[in-house]
């Protein structure tokens, strides 16, 4: 008797999930679909381009300094990720390796920064950046973001789970604290560190607030800001706009395609921001 | 992770050396190593101190001044006047009302639907689950600007696929999703929620798989029906995740909508999509009323902190469900 019932309920489950997947994926599909359509076909609802064309990509590429902005975005995202990983590895090591006065207060203060919305602190930070003459520079984009409280907390959890006996063994072999960190702990935690790094890279690549404030000229800006400017410049170039959007999303999509399981796991474990 | 715990025997620390000189040297080493943790923490502490706590204090200071962001113009002390102005500004009431709409409007996407989906799709085959997971998660990794761009195209009044589809199903006049003041705020809320729905579904599914199945067996033996099981077993055991997602959603929903507002509507039409975060931005960088912006930021930050504190208290009280 239960055979049919089980089938009906599994069918229902799958239907529900397929609907959700459709909702999640459709915009992505529609973006790519539109980006390959010819000018005449863009406005039709065809589910697949009849005549594939790269014209939209060429047009988008030529109307804004795309290569320059992708380069900027790459440089900013890579240096931010590297700096954030480095600073948080050092901090997580300090918290897990030693007992010292004030450690829980410092950890608390780091965690609390999570509660400070960007918009609350943007004006003083903007003033500092413009006084330093860092507006429209990559330095101005990178330096305020060399630390991620999220990365400190995530790495702290990973470091805490690291077996103390291994550290002690290295110490007995005469390794200094510095080399215990870089020769014993970091190589063994490569997997967690790199998945946190991927998350940091995606966050940094997608960031829009700070470039919006700090940069004015497209040549000094990141891809996200450039895309927004492109959007507001010409309202009806849907083909090129979707091509530009595809390009702006491509690095993250490629990373996701290769490493989706790790990315999902670390997002679910670590939360947002 | 590939560390191997079996190869490292724990050796007891040899406690020798009671000679005074050795003691001195040891004391020095201890004092030296006393500084060490602080040295390792220095970059993080300095950077967060300078880029988060310094500006936070300055925002509090600026809220008592009148200033137009120009380095050459003077800051005038005005006391509590900025805060008094906030109460009388007409945009403020509107922005607060909209903040509330965003916060409540996102809840179906961040809590209700994901919970339902997670509960009803438990026990699905592992391979198909992985495929669903990978697809559902895509909105989460896409950049807010890219998301805005795509939805703007999909929801375009005359040429967008959504209006074409709706007209096919009998809608008379196309909906101007972003330029009609009755629709705009709901369009932005939908996009904010759309980005979240997969993420929270996965959070709840992960929590579901953590539930010990023996509870269900026991409940079935006691002849509990499906609703009773959900009400008395599933929901209480999920309460830590529910609380976590409610906190994220309530605290950050309107902050997340900022990018969509800025890219898609700029707070319009007729101020119908402005929320408190966008107002801070407009005061600060469009009307250059730094004092107003800072005062609003202070109020926002305090409200924010109180809500977070409430949630932390609540989660402590509920934490016995964790076991």
> With an 8 Å Cβ cutoff, are B262 and A252 in contact?
no
Which of B276, B294, B32, B257 has the alpha carbon at shortest distance from B147?
B257
Q: Give me the residue label for tokens 């330093």.
A: A132
Model confidence at A235: pLDDT above 70:
no
Start-to-end Cα distance in chain A: 49
Model confidence at A208: pLDDT above 80:
yes
CATH number of A184's domain: 1.10.3720.10
Q: What is the pLDDT of residue B278?
A: 93
> With an 8 Å Cβ cutoff, are A188 and B194 in contact?
no
> With an 8 Å Cβ cutoff, are A24 and B132 in contact?
no
Point out the residue among B3, B34, B262 whose CB comes nearest to the CB of A163. Answer: B3
Q: What is the DSSP code (8-state) at residue A65?
A: T
**Domain span holding position A215:** 65-228
* Contact list, A201 vs chain B (CB under 8 Å): none
Q: What is the pLDDT of residue B25?
A: 66
> With an 8 Å Cβ cutoff, are A208 and B69 in contact?
no
Point out the residue among A100, A162, A212 whose CB comes nearest to the CB of B37. Answer: A100
- Pull the structure tokens for residue B164: 């074409």
Total structural domains in chain A?
1
Q: What is the pLDDT of residues A166-199, one digit of tens each?
A: 999 999 999 999 999 999 999 999 988 998 999 9
Point out the residue among A127, A152, A177 whose CB comes nearest to the CB of B44. Answer: A152
- Pull the structure tokens for residue A165: 């006996």
Q: Is A87:A123 a contact under the CB 8 Å cutoff?
A: no
- Whether A30 is covered by a domain: the verdict is no
- Pull the structure tokens for residue A124: 């003083």
Best interface-test mutation with B: which of A24, A80, A118, A135 has the largest number of B CBs within 10 A? A24
Point out the residue among A103, A120, A252 whose CB comes nearest to the CB of B141. Answer: A252
Q: What is the pLDDT of residues A9-24, one digit of tens each?
A: 888 889 989 999 999 9
Best interface-test mutation with A: which of B48, B167, B176 has the largest number of A CBs within 10 A? B48
Q: What is the ipTM of this complex?
A: 0.91
> With an 8 Å Cβ cutoff, are B149 and A213 in contact?
no
- Whether A188 is covered by a domain: the verdict is yes
Q: What is the pTM of this model?
A: 0.89
* Contact list, B250 vs chain A (CB under 8 Å): none
* Contact list, A256 vs chain B (CB under 8 Å): 138, 141
Point out the residue among B141, B151, B259 whose CB comes nearest to the CB of A208. Answer: B259
Q: Minimal Cα–Cα distance from B32 to chain A, Å?
A: 12
> With an 8 Å Cβ cutoff, are B202 and A268 in contact?
yes
Mean pLDDT of chain A: 90
> With an 8 Å Cβ cutoff, are A24 and B135 in contact?
yes
Q: How far apart are the C-alpha atoms of B298 and A130, rounded to whole Å?
A: 23
* Contact list, A105 vs chain B (CB under 8 Å): none
- Report the SS3 class of residue A56: helix
Point out the residue among A125, A147, A205 whose CB comes nearest to the CB of B43. Answer: A147
Q: How far apart are the C-alpha atoms of B223 and A259, rounded to whole Å?
A: 44
> With an 8 Å Cβ cutoff, are A125 and B40 in contact?
no
Point out the residue among A90, A241, A253 whose CB comes nearest to the CB of B40. Answer: A90
Q: What is the pLDDT of residue B207?
A: 87
> With an 8 Å Cβ cutoff, are A91 and B40 in contact?
yes
Q: Minimal Cα–Cα distance from B163 to chain A, Å?
A: 11
Exposed e or buried b per residue across B195-227, where buried means at least 16 C-beta atoms within 10 angstroms of its C-beta: bbbbbbbbbbbbbbeeeeeeeeeebeeeebeee
- Whether A162 is covered by a domain: the verdict is yes
3-state secondary structure chain B: CCCCHHHCCCCCCCCCCCCHHHHHHHHHHHHHHHHHHHHHHHHHHHHHHHHHHHHHHHHHHHCCEECCCCCCCCCEECCCHHHHHHHHCHHHHHHHHHHHHHHHHHHHHHHHHHHHHHHHCCCCCHHHHHHHHHHHCHHHHCCHHHHHHHHHHHCCCCCCHHHHHHHHCCCCCCCCCCCCCCCHHHHHHHHHHHHHHHHHHHHHHHHHHCCCCHHHHHHHHCCCCHHHHHHHHHHHHHHHHHHHHHHHHHHHHHHHHHHHHHHHHCCCCCCCCCCHHHHHHHHHHCCCCHHHHHHHHHHHHHHHHHHHHHHHHHHHHHHHHHC
Q: Name the residue in chain A with its Cα closest to that of B304.
A: A115
Per-residue pLDDT of chain B (323 residues), as tens digits, is 343 333 333 334 444 444 566 666 666 666 666 889 999 999 999 999 999 999 999 999 999 999 988 888 888 899 899 999 888 888 888 999 999 999 999 999 999 999 999 988 887 888 888 899 899 999 999 999 999 999 999 999 888 999 999 998 988 889 999 999 999 999 999 999 999 998 899 889 888 888 888 888 888 888 888 888 888 888 988 888 899 899 989 988 988 999 999 999 998 888 899 999 999 999 999 889 999 999 999 999 999 899 999 998 888 887 655 44
- Whether A203 is covered by a domain: the verdict is yes
* Contact list, A123 vs chain B (CB under 8 Å): 55, 58-59, 62, 69, 284, 290, 293-294, 297
Best interface-test mutation with B: which of A18, A43, A44, A116 has the largest number of B CBs within 10 A? A116
* Contact list, B207 vs chain A (CB under 8 Å): none
- Whether A159 is covered by a domain: the verdict is yes
Q: How far apart are the C-alpha atoms of B156 and B177, rounded to whole Å?
A: 7
Q: What is the pLDDT of residue A109?
A: 95
Q: Name the residue in chain A with its Cα closest to that of B277.
A: A119
- Whether A156 is covered by a domain: the verdict is yes
- Whether A149 is covered by a domain: the verdict is yes
Which of B157, B169, B153 has the alpha carbon at shortest distance from A33?
B153
> With an 8 Å Cβ cutoff, are A206 and B263 in contact?
no
* Contact list, A91 vs chain B (CB under 8 Å): 40-41, 43-44
Bridge partners, B76 (sequence order): B66
- Whether A271 is covered by a domain: the verdict is no
């Amino acid at each position: 008797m239960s055979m049919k019932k089980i089938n009906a309920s599994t069918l229902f489950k799958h239907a529900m999930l397929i609907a959700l997947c459709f909702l999640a994926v459709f915009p992505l599909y529609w973006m790519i679909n539109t980006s390959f359509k010819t000018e005449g076909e863009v406005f039709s609802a065809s589910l697949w381009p009849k005549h594939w064309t790269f014209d939209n990509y060429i047009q988008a590429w030529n109307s804004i300094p795309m290569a320059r902005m992708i380069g900027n975005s790459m440089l900013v995202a890579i240096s931010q990720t590297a700096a954030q990983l480095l600073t948080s590895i050092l901090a997580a090591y300090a918290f897990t390796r030693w007992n010292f006065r004030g450690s829980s207060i410092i950890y608390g203060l780091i965690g609390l920064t999570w509660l400070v919305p960007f918009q609350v602190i943007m004006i003083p930070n903007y003033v500092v950046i413009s006084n330093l003459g860092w507006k429209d520079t990559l330095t101005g984009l990178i330096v305020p973001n060399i630390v991620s409280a999220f990365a400190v907390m995530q790495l702290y959890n990973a470091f805490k789970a690291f077996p103390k006996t291994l550290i002690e063994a290295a110490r007995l072999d005469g390794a200094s604290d510095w080399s215990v960190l870089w020769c014993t702990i970091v190589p063994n935690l490569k997997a967690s560190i790199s998945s946190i790094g991927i998350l940091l890279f995606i966050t940094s690549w997608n960031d829009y607030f700070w470039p919006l404030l700090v940069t004015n000229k497209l040549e000094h800006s990141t891809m996200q800001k450039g895309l927004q400017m492109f959007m507001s410049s010409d309202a009806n170039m849907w083909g090129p706009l979707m091509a530009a959007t595809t390009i702006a999303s491509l690095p993250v999509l490629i990373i996701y395609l290769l490493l989706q399981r790790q990315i999902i796991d670390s997002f679910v474990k670590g939360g947002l921001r | 992770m590939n560390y191997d715990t079996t190869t490292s025997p724990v050796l007891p620390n040899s406690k020798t050396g009671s000679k005074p000189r050795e003691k001195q040297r040891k004391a020095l080493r201890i004092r030296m190593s006393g500084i060490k943790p602080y040295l390792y923490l220095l970059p993080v502490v300095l950077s967060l101190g300078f880029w988060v706590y310094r500006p936070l204090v300055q925002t509090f200071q600026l809220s008592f001044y009148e200033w137009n962001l120009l380095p050459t113009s003077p800051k005038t002390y005005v006391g509590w006047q900025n805060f008094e102005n906030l109460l009388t500004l007409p945009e403020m009431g509107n922005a607060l009302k909209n903040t509330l709409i965003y916060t409540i409007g996102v809840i179906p996407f961040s809590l209700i639907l994901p919970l339902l989906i997670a509960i009803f799709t438990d026990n699905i085959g592992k391979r198909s689950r992985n495929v669903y997971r990978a697809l559902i998660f895509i909105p989460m990794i896409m950049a807010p600007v890219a998301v805005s761009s795509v939805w703007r195209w999909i929801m375009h009044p005359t040429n967008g696929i959504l209006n074409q589809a709706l007209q096919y199903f009998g809608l008379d006049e196309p909906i101007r999703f972003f330029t009609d003041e009755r629709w705009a705020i709901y369009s932005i809320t939908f996009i904010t929620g759309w980005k979240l729905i997969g993420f929270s579904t996965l959070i709840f599914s992960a929590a579901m798989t953590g539930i010990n199945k023996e509870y269900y067996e026991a409940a079935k033996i006691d002849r509990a029906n499906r609703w009773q099981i959900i009400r008395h077993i599933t929901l209480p055991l999920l309460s830590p995740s529910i609380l976590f997602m409610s906190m994220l959603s309530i605290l950050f929903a309107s902050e997340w909508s900022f990018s969509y507002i800025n890219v898609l509507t700029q707070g319009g039409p007729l101020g119908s999509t402005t929320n408190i975060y966008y107002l801070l931005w407009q005061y600060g960088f469009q009307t250059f009323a730094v004092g107003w912006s800072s005062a609003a930021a202070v109020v926002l930050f305090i409200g924010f902190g109180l809500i977070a504190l409430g949630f932390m208290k609540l989660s402590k009280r509920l934490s016995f469900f964790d076991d």
